[in-house]
């Protein structure tokens, strides 16, 4: 993750010069299973090596597309296209939201709307992600 963070830090001047977009979209590979994402190690829950690799892939894909974290409240739209008719939508969502933290938004507490759909596409499994800035009239 350090190489990806260093790359993103190096682009800070470029990103700072651009206005924050209203919507950012990206297409990601299916995440690792929620059962393999987190591990218990010495009575602590940690992210597995496989999960770290997935998070790195998400970070690099987002960086390549110029996606940067929103600062304020966001709405997240996830369209999950499964390879097989297995896997609960909520487990995909948990893993995806964790992987997008620091990429599409700074912290998951910024998510004030969440929409998700599940489809089957054995020839092209993927996740289509859209993150929208939300204007709130009250805090």
Q: In the block, which residue shows the tokens 């190489």?
A: 3
Does the pLDDT of residue 138 top 90, yes or no? no
The SS3 of residue 15 is: helix
Q: 63-94, pLDDT tens digit by residue? A: 999 999 999 999 999 999 999 998 899 989 99
- Domain residue extents for the chain: 2-133
- Across 33-42, 80-89, 119-128, which has the greatest mean pLDDT? 119-128
What pTM did the predictor assign?
Answer: 0.81
Report residue 103 as tokens: 């990429």
Pairing of strands 111-120, 74-82: parallel
- In this structure, of 19-28, 34-43, 95-104, 107-116, the range with the lowest mean pLDDT score is 34-43
Write out the E strands in the chain.
Answer: 23-28, 38-41, 44-47, 74-82, 111-120, 126-133
Structural class in CATH, domain 2-133: alpha beta
């Amino acid at each position: 993750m350090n190489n990806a963070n260093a790359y993103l830090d190096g682009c800070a001047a470029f990103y700072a010069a651009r206005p924050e977009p209203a919507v950012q979209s990206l297409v990601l590979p299916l995440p690792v299973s929620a059962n393999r994402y987190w591990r218990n190690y010495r009575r602590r829950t940690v992210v597995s090596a496989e999960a770290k690799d997935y998070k790195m892939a998400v970070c690099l894909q987002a960086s390549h597309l110029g996606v940067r974290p929103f600062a304020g409240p966001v709405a997240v739209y996830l369209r999950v296209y499964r390879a097989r008719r297995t896997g609960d939508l909520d487990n995909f969502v948990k893993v995806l939201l964790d992987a997008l933290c620091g990429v599409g938004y700074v912290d998951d507490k910024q998510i004030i709307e969440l929409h998700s759909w599940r489809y089957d596409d054995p020839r092209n499994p993927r996740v289509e992600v859209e993150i929208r800035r939300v204007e709130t009239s009250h805090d």
